[in-house]
Amino acid sequence: MVRSVVFESDSFSDNIVTEEIMSVGKSFVAFMAICYLAILIIGCTGDEGPIGPPGFPGTEGPPGQNAVISPIADRTFGILVANSSASDLVGAAKVILTSDTNSVPGSDRVVARRLDKAPVIDGADGGDAEWGSAAASTITLDSIAGKYNGIASAHVRAAYDRQYVYLQVKWTEVAISDFAPSKDVNKLMWSYDSAGTNSWVRTGGEDMLCLGWQLTTITGWSTDGIKAIFDGSIFRTPASGEVADLWVWQSTETYYSGYLGDRVVRYADVGDASQFDAGTLPAFALENPASSGKPTYMRSGSPETGTSYPLNSYEFTKFDTQKKWKNHATIPGYISFIPSGSTADVQSTAIYDNGTWTVELRRLRQTGNGDDTIL
C-alpha cells in the first residue's frame, strides 16, 4: 500500500515572495518610465542624415500690378511777387495748374509732370536734368491794386510724384524809380551811428512771393482769383466760412528757416485775416523792436562790431547797454525760429543770383491737415 504524502505550502511565505516580486517589477517599470521621460525631455541627438531632394515647385501666383500714381487734378492758384516792400506787388490773379500731358505751358498755365526722381530743392536751377519734361511756363505778372514794381513775368515749373508736389518760381528784379535790385535778406537791420547822431537806426526791406489756393469755394475766385482775397494790402475772404490756403515766402523772415510760411486766410469784417497754420509760435521770426531807441535783443557774446543775419532763437539775449559799440555796428532786426506743425508743411530754399531769385518748394500732396489744399 502506497502512502500519499501531501506537502502543504506556507501561505505566509508565499505572500512575502509574491509581494517582493511585484515590488521589484513596479520599480523596474517606474525606472523605465523615468528613462523614457528623460529621453523625451533631454532628447537624443544623433548624426544628421543626408538632405533629401527638393520638393516640386508650387503653382505660380497671380500677376502683380504696377503702382499707379494719381495725377494732380486741375487747380487754379494765384501768384504775388513783391520787391523789397509789401506795397510794391505784381501778380497773376489766376493761373491754371494741370497735369494733363496734352496741355501746353503758357502765360496763365503751368503743366506739372510726373517725375521718377525728385528734383533737388536747393534753389539752384538744375534745368531739365532735374525737372525732366516739366517745362517752365512764363507767367505774365500785372499790377495788383494799382501798384507795380516793374517785374513783368515769373518762370514757373511744377512736378509731382506719389508723395510730393514740387514748384520752382523764378523772377528777375527791375530797377524802377529809386529802387535798385538787391538781395534783400536784412529786413529792418539795426545799425549804430557813433560818428554822427550817436543812435541806432533800422533800415532794409525784404522780397516776397505768395501763392494762394482755394480751400473752400470762395466768392469771386472763379473770375478774380487771388484778388478775391487780397486788396493790395491785406488778406481776407469775402464771406464767413470761406477759407483759402496761402503760402508766403519772405527773403528775411522765412528765408533762414528752410521753410516758407503756410498760412490760412479766413473772413473778417476789417483788417487782415491771415494767420499761420497750427504750430509753435513764433513760427518763423520774432521782431527785435526798439527799447528806448535801441535794439531789445542782441546775439549772446556779440563783438563790438555787431553781427549779421541770422540771429537764431538759441543765441539771442538782452541788449547790453554798457557795451562800447563800434561805428556801423549791426544787429539783426528779427530773430529766426524753425517752425513746426502744419506751419512747416512747405519746405523751401532760395538763391539770389545777379538780380534773379530762384525759389524752390516741396510739399506733401496730402498733409492730413484740414488747413492745407490737396494737390
Q: What is the pLDDT of residue 52?
A: 75
For residue 9, pLDDT over 70 is answered with: no
For residue 14, pLDDT over 50 is answered with: no
Cβ contact 118:168 at 8 Å:
no
Average pLDDT of the segment spanning 59-87? 81
Which positions ≥6 away from 67 have C-beta within 8 Å?
162
Q: What is the pLDDT of residue 88?
A: 75
Which positions ≥6 away from 240 have C-beta within 8 Å?
267
Higher pLDDT, 158 or 67: 158
Q: How far apart are CA 272 and CA 67, in angstroms?
A: 44
Q: How far apart are CA 191 and CA 299, in angstroms?
A: 14
Per-residue pLDDT tens for 148-178?
888 999 999 999 999 999 999 999 998 887 7
Higher pLDDT, 5 or 373: 373
Which positions ≥6 away from 210 have C-beta within 8 Å?
78, 79, 80, 81, 82, 91, 226, 230, 246, 247, 248, 249
Q: Residue ranges of the alpha helices (H) in the chain?
A: 11-42, 128-131, 221-224
For residue 314, pLDDT over 80 is answered with: yes
Q: Among candidates 91, 63, 67, 64, which has minimal Cα distance to 78? A: 91
Q: How many CB atoms sit inside 10 A of residue 260's CB?
A: 29
Q: What is the pLDDT of residue 28?
A: 55
Q: Mean pLDDT of all residues in the chain? A: 87
For residue 316, pLDDT over 80 is answered with: yes
For residue 327, pLDDT over 50 is answered with: yes
In order of their start, the domains of the chain are 75-178+206-278+340-364 (2.60.40)
The model's confidence at residue 7, banded by pLDDT at 50, 70 and 90, is very low
The model's confidence at residue 262, banded by pLDDT at 50, 70 and 90, is very high
Average pLDDT of the segment spanning 116-128? 94
Which positions ≥6 away from 286 have C-beta within 8 Å?
313, 334, 335, 337
Q: What is the pLDDT of residue 50?
A: 76
